[in-house]
Amino acid sequence: MQRIKRGKVQKYAFDNRDKPCLKVKPGETFQLETNDALSGMIADDSDNPRVEGFDGPHFAKLAKATPGLFNPVVGPIYVEGCKAGDVLAVHIDWIDPWRYGFSGVLPHMGPLGDSLRYKDCAEGYVHVIEHLPGPSGHTRDGFGKYSDSLTWPLEPFIGTLATAPEREVFTSVLGQGPFGGNIDCRDIRAGHTIYLNSYNDGGLLYVGDVHGGQGDTEFTGIADETRATVQLSCTVVKNKRLPCVRIDKPDSIVAVGINRPFEHAVYDATANLMQWLEEDYGVPPRDLYVRMSCDPAFRIRTYQLVRLQTLEHVAGAEYPKERLFDAVTPRRTAKKARGKTASTKATAKKTRTTKKTVTKKASRRR
């Protein structure tokens, strides 16, 4: 199996001029080792690791660039058979977070970045989260130890997943769009398939910024940021263009919207879902539009609401697979279809009978 080791490839932009670091066939499984969003804030995985601070030389070096050298990604991965104008389907097998992750507060950023009342919520702060193995012996189903008194199940996901845009170069920290990007969507996780537009031959996939978990909004700007190993595979949907990212979960689908303010991200997500259900499932737009207001199974997911420069907000519109059908007209259509089918069967039977009769007559003549 092909594998990219941590540190061998580290990019800070989605650039179609980058030379592919890996070439894979559709359906081929491969592994990537990724760095954390701040390129090694926790220096080692010992029992007492060295932790870099926001006031130290490590962060100062990253922040010197504009925008900062945050969110390193591995890529691009070239997928054979994928062309510009296709959709790249990325399936995530599993994600193993590193022994440690960190959260905290980005200095003077987020909704309390300039707060006078909560001054300690405006200052830079790093909080280490230890990742403990789960029943499998891996951290993919493990636990996050926040403190001696609080531990929770890990829910690892890929925070930055993108294909290279066609005509622009976006940084891996601020780049977002129909190509994916830094959208910190917690549904980009194991067992799910993520659909991204391909704007270049090969798709040119970038992967990074893994999280051990995240609460809705990620208000402080950093969730459970960690290094990780991920196992993926890709397939290609030919000749298709999506308005934005889409996610196929085992029991539901999620259409993503990326915009600001947040309510516009919600509007975009619902429009993405309506187009998806109309084109792929034959659901009339008005049918779904009404169900969005009255069906409790329709949900809006809040992913990223970070206040950081030009970063936009990310929402998801989710609907269960068991309801992906036309709920208004199927009964009438089905009745007509049954009648039509019965008529067709009768006609076919009559035709077979006529053919047999003709054949018998012809045999007697001979």
Q: What is the mean pLDDT of each run of 10 residues along the chain (366 residues)?
A: 94 97 98 95 93 92 88 97 98 98 90 90 94 98 98 98 95 95 97 98 98 94 96 98 98 98 97 97 96 98 91 97 91 50 48 47 46
First to last CA, the chain: 69
Q: Residue 331: its pLDDT value, please?
A: 67
CATH 3.90.550.10 assigned to domain 2-242? The reply is no
Q: Residue 309: its pLDDT value, please?
A: 85
Q: Compute CA distances 135 → 27, 91, 132, 141, whole Å.
A: 28, 23, 10, 7
Say how far apart CA 123 and CA 191 lie, in whole Å. Answer: 37
Q: How many residues does the chain have?
A: 366
Q: Residue 349: its pLDDT value, please?
A: 52
* Largest Cα span, the chain: 107
Q: Residue 232: its pLDDT value, please?
A: 98
For the entire predicted model, the pTM comes to 0.88
- Are 190 and 95 in contact by the 8 Å Cβ rule? The answer is yes
Q: Strands 22-24 and 73-79, how do they pair?
A: parallel
Domains of the chain: which residue ranges?
Answer: 2-242
Say how far apart CA 325 and CA 134 lie, in whole Å. Answer: 38
CA 239 from chain centre, in angstroms, equals 20
Q: Residue 363: its pLDDT value, please?
A: 47
Stated as kind and residue range, the H or E segment containing 364 is helix 330-365
Say how far apart CA 52 and CA 249 lie, in whole Å. Answer: 37
